[in-house]
Chains A and B, each alone.
Chain A
Amino acid sequence: DAGITQSPRHKVTETGTPVTLRCHQTENHRYMYWYRQDPGHGLRLIHYSYGVKDTDKGEVSDGYSVSRSKTEDFLLTLESATSSQTSVYFCAIGQGAGEQYFGPGTRLTVT
Protein backbone atom coordinates (compact mmCIF):
# COMPACT_ATOMS: atom_id res chain seq x y z
CA ASP A 1 0.00 0.00 0.00
CA ALA A 2 1.15 3.52 -0.78
CA GLY A 3 2.18 5.46 2.29
CA ILE A 4 -0.42 8.18 2.42
CA THR A 5 -2.13 9.53 5.51
CA GLN A 6 -4.68 12.23 6.16
CA SER A 7 -5.29 14.26 9.28
CA PRO A 8 -7.60 14.75 10.96
CA ARG A 9 -9.77 11.78 10.06
CA HIS A 10 -12.90 13.39 11.47
CA LYS A 11 -13.67 17.01 12.22
CA VAL A 12 -16.73 18.98 13.23
CA THR A 13 -16.47 22.73 12.91
CA GLU A 14 -18.72 25.76 12.89
CA THR A 15 -19.69 27.87 9.92
CA GLY A 16 -17.23 30.67 9.33
CA THR A 17 -14.22 29.05 10.95
CA PRO A 18 -11.03 28.23 9.03
CA VAL A 19 -10.15 24.57 8.61
CA THR A 20 -6.96 22.94 7.34
CA LEU A 21 -6.71 19.33 6.26
CA ARG A 22 -3.35 17.67 5.83
CA CYS A 23 -2.23 15.01 3.41
CA HIS A 24 1.15 13.37 4.01
CA GLN A 25 2.93 10.89 1.74
CA THR A 26 6.10 8.85 2.11
CA GLU A 27 6.23 7.70 -1.54
CA ASN A 28 7.89 10.74 -3.10
CA HIS A 29 5.15 10.95 -5.73
CA ARG A 30 5.15 14.11 -7.78
CA TYR A 31 1.40 14.61 -8.04
CA MET A 32 -0.98 15.13 -5.15
CA TYR A 33 -4.73 15.68 -5.38
CA TRP A 34 -7.59 16.77 -3.15
CA TYR A 35 -11.08 15.44 -3.92
CA ARG A 36 -14.43 15.69 -2.24
CA GLN A 37 -17.01 12.92 -2.30
CA ASP A 38 -20.71 13.66 -1.89
CA PRO A 39 -23.81 11.48 -2.32
CA GLY A 40 -25.01 11.53 -5.91
CA HIS A 41 -21.70 12.83 -7.19
CA GLY A 42 -18.56 11.08 -8.17
CA LEU A 43 -15.30 12.16 -6.65
CA ARG A 44 -14.68 15.76 -7.71
CA LEU A 45 -11.30 17.38 -7.96
CA ILE A 46 -10.76 20.44 -5.78
CA HIS A 47 -7.08 21.22 -6.41
CA TYR A 48 -3.99 19.33 -7.39
CA SER A 49 -0.25 19.81 -7.22
CA TYR A 50 2.34 18.77 -9.78
CA GLY A 51 5.35 19.71 -7.69
CA VAL A 52 6.51 21.77 -4.72
CA LYS A 53 4.80 25.16 -4.88
CA ASP A 54 3.08 24.14 -8.16
CA THR A 55 -0.68 23.85 -7.85
CA ASP A 56 -3.73 24.18 -10.07
CA LYS A 57 -7.48 24.35 -9.65
CA GLY A 58 -9.94 21.54 -10.19
CA GLU A 59 -13.61 21.70 -11.02
CA VAL A 60 -14.84 22.64 -7.51
CA SER A 61 -12.09 24.92 -6.22
CA ASP A 62 -14.22 27.87 -5.00
CA GLY A 63 -13.84 28.36 -1.24
CA TYR A 64 -10.69 26.23 -1.04
CA SER A 65 -6.98 26.98 -1.17
CA VAL A 66 -3.98 24.66 -1.11
CA SER A 67 -0.31 24.77 -0.38
CA ARG A 68 2.60 22.45 -0.97
CA SER A 69 5.83 23.62 0.59
CA LYS A 70 7.49 20.20 0.48
CA THR A 71 7.06 17.05 -1.54
CA GLU A 72 5.44 15.02 1.20
CA ASP A 73 2.75 17.44 2.40
CA PHE A 74 -0.29 18.90 0.64
CA LEU A 75 -2.56 21.11 2.70
CA LEU A 76 -6.18 21.96 1.92
CA THR A 77 -7.60 25.05 3.61
CA LEU A 78 -11.19 26.16 3.89
CA GLU A 79 -10.79 29.85 4.64
CA SER A 80 -14.31 30.21 6.06
CA ALA A 81 -16.15 26.93 6.25
CA THR A 82 -19.74 26.71 5.00
CA SER A 83 -22.33 23.96 5.40
CA SER A 84 -22.00 23.15 1.68
CA GLN A 85 -18.44 22.06 2.41
CA THR A 86 -19.63 19.23 4.63
CA SER A 87 -18.21 16.26 2.80
CA VAL A 88 -15.69 13.45 2.81
CA TYR A 89 -12.33 14.64 1.55
CA PHE A 90 -9.85 12.31 -0.08
CA CYS A 91 -6.24 12.97 -0.86
CA ALA A 92 -4.56 10.99 -3.62
CA ILE A 93 -1.03 10.72 -4.93
CA GLY A 94 0.39 9.59 -8.24
CA GLN A 95 3.24 9.86 -10.68
CA GLY A 96 1.18 11.49 -13.41
CA ALA A 97 0.19 9.05 -16.11
CA GLY A 98 -0.16 6.07 -13.80
CA GLU A 99 -2.44 5.01 -11.03
CA GLN A 100 -3.62 7.16 -8.18
CA TYR A 101 -3.36 5.98 -4.59
CA PHE A 102 -5.93 7.27 -2.16
CA GLY A 103 -5.69 8.25 1.46
CA PRO A 104 -8.21 7.02 4.04
CA GLY A 105 -10.38 10.14 3.83
CA THR A 106 -11.40 12.93 6.21
CA ARG A 107 -15.01 13.32 7.20
CA LEU A 108 -15.73 17.03 7.71
CA THR A 109 -18.98 18.34 9.16
CA VAL A 110 -19.69 22.06 9.15
CA THR A 111 -22.52 23.01 11.50
Chain B
Amino acid sequence: KNEVEQSPQNLTAQEGEFITINCSYSVGISALHWLQQHPGGGIVSLFMLSSGKKKHGRLIATINIQEKHSSLHITASHPRDSAVYICAVRSNTGNQFYFGTGTSLTVIP
Protein backbone atom coordinates (compact mmCIF):
# COMPACT_ATOMS: atom_id res chain seq x y z
CA LYS B 1 0.00 0.00 0.00
CA ASN B 2 1.31 3.41 -0.95
CA GLU B 3 0.64 6.22 1.44
CA VAL B 4 1.47 8.73 -1.30
CA GLU B 5 0.29 8.47 -4.90
CA GLN B 6 1.42 10.76 -7.70
CA SER B 7 0.05 11.31 -11.18
CA PRO B 8 1.02 11.22 -13.89
CA GLN B 9 4.05 8.94 -13.65
CA ASN B 10 5.51 10.38 -16.84
CA LEU B 11 4.84 13.66 -18.54
CA THR B 12 6.16 15.18 -21.75
CA ALA B 13 5.44 18.81 -22.53
CA GLN B 14 6.39 21.42 -25.10
CA GLU B 15 8.41 24.37 -23.92
CA GLY B 16 6.09 27.09 -22.63
CA GLU B 17 3.26 24.78 -21.58
CA PHE B 18 1.57 24.94 -18.19
CA ILE B 19 2.23 21.74 -16.23
CA THR B 20 0.37 20.19 -13.31
CA ILE B 21 1.55 17.27 -11.19
CA ASN B 22 -0.82 15.80 -8.64
CA CYS B 23 -0.24 14.15 -5.29
CA SER B 24 -2.75 12.34 -3.07
CA TYR B 25 -2.00 10.91 0.33
CA SER B 26 -3.81 8.68 2.78
CA VAL B 27 -2.24 9.48 6.16
CA GLY B 28 -2.56 12.37 8.53
CA ILE B 29 0.22 14.81 7.92
CA SER B 30 1.96 17.70 9.55
CA ALA B 31 3.51 18.89 6.27
CA LEU B 32 3.83 18.04 2.60
CA HIS B 33 7.03 18.49 0.61
CA TRP B 34 7.75 18.77 -3.09
CA LEU B 35 11.20 17.66 -4.16
CA GLN B 36 13.05 17.83 -7.45
CA GLN B 37 15.51 15.15 -8.53
CA HIS B 38 17.79 16.02 -11.42
CA PRO B 39 19.05 13.47 -13.95
CA GLY B 40 22.38 13.43 -12.08
CA GLY B 41 20.51 12.16 -9.02
CA GLY B 42 20.67 15.11 -6.62
CA ILE B 43 17.48 15.86 -4.66
CA VAL B 44 16.47 19.41 -3.88
CA SER B 45 13.59 20.60 -1.73
CA LEU B 46 11.22 22.92 -3.62
CA PHE B 47 8.42 23.54 -1.15
CA MET B 48 7.16 22.63 2.26
CA LEU B 49 3.42 23.16 2.77
CA SER B 50 1.00 22.68 5.61
CA SER B 51 -1.85 24.73 4.14
CA GLY B 52 -2.80 26.98 1.25
CA LYS B 53 -0.43 27.88 -1.52
CA LYS B 54 3.20 28.82 -2.07
CA LYS B 55 4.92 30.35 -5.09
CA HIS B 56 8.56 30.44 -6.04
CA GLY B 57 9.35 31.86 -9.45
CA ARG B 58 7.46 29.82 -12.04
CA LEU B 59 6.56 27.10 -9.54
CA ILE B 60 3.36 27.07 -7.51
CA ALA B 61 2.35 24.46 -4.95
CA THR B 62 -1.09 24.11 -3.44
CA ILE B 63 -2.52 21.81 -0.81
CA ASN B 64 -6.07 20.90 0.20
CA ILE B 65 -5.89 19.30 3.63
CA GLN B 66 -9.53 18.18 3.67
CA GLU B 67 -9.17 16.38 0.35
CA LYS B 68 -5.62 15.14 1.13
CA HIS B 69 -4.39 16.43 -2.18
CA SER B 70 -1.63 18.67 -3.43
CA SER B 71 -0.66 19.98 -6.83
CA LEU B 72 2.59 21.33 -8.22
CA HIS B 73 2.23 23.71 -11.15
CA ILE B 74 4.96 24.91 -13.47
CA THR B 75 4.15 27.92 -15.60
CA ALA B 76 5.96 28.64 -18.89
CA SER B 77 7.84 25.34 -18.72
CA HIS B 78 11.45 25.20 -19.90
CA PRO B 79 13.73 22.28 -20.83
CA ARG B 80 15.74 22.90 -17.67
CA ASP B 81 12.60 21.94 -15.69
CA SER B 82 13.09 18.37 -16.93
CA ALA B 83 13.50 16.28 -13.79
CA VAL B 84 11.68 13.89 -11.51
CA TYR B 85 9.32 15.62 -9.11
CA ILE B 86 8.65 13.82 -5.84
CA CYS B 87 5.85 14.41 -3.37
CA ALA B 88 6.56 13.53 0.26
CA VAL B 89 4.49 13.82 3.42
CA ARG B 90 5.53 13.94 7.04
CA SER B 91 3.25 11.89 9.24
CA ASN B 92 1.63 13.71 12.14
CA THR B 93 2.06 10.65 14.38
CA GLY B 94 5.83 10.43 14.40
CA ASN B 95 8.99 11.27 12.55
CA GLN B 96 8.10 9.23 9.48
CA PHE B 97 8.24 10.56 5.94
CA TYR B 98 6.40 8.85 3.07
CA PHE B 99 7.43 9.44 -0.52
CA GLY B 100 5.64 9.11 -3.84
CA THR B 101 7.38 7.28 -6.67
CA GLY B 102 7.86 10.51 -8.56
CA THR B 103 6.71 12.12 -11.80
CA SER B 104 9.25 12.16 -14.59
CA LEU B 105 8.90 15.40 -16.55
CA THR B 106 10.49 16.03 -19.93
CA VAL B 107 10.13 19.46 -21.52
CA ILE B 108 10.91 19.53 -25.22
CA PRO B 109 12.28 22.71 -26.82
Contact = CB atoms under 8 A, between A and B. Distances in A.
B48 interface: yes
Contact of B41 (A35, A44, A48, A88): A88
Interface residues of B, number: 23
Interface string A23-54: 00000000101010000111111001010000
Interface in B30-53: 30-31, 33, 35, 41-45, 48
B45 A43 contact: no
Interface residues of A, number: 25
A42 B41 contact: no
B45 A97 contact: no
B42 A102 contact: yes
B63 interface: no
Contacts of B95: 31, 48, 50, 56, 96
A99 B33 contact: yes
Contact of B4 (A42, A59, A98): A42
B22 interface: no
A100 interface: yes
Given A31-B95, A40-B101, A97-B31, A105 B42 contact: yes
10 nearest A-B pairs in the assembled complex, by CB-CB distance:
A42-B99, A102-B43, A43-B99, A99-B45, A42-B101, A105-B41, A99-B48, A42-B100, A104-B42, A41-B101
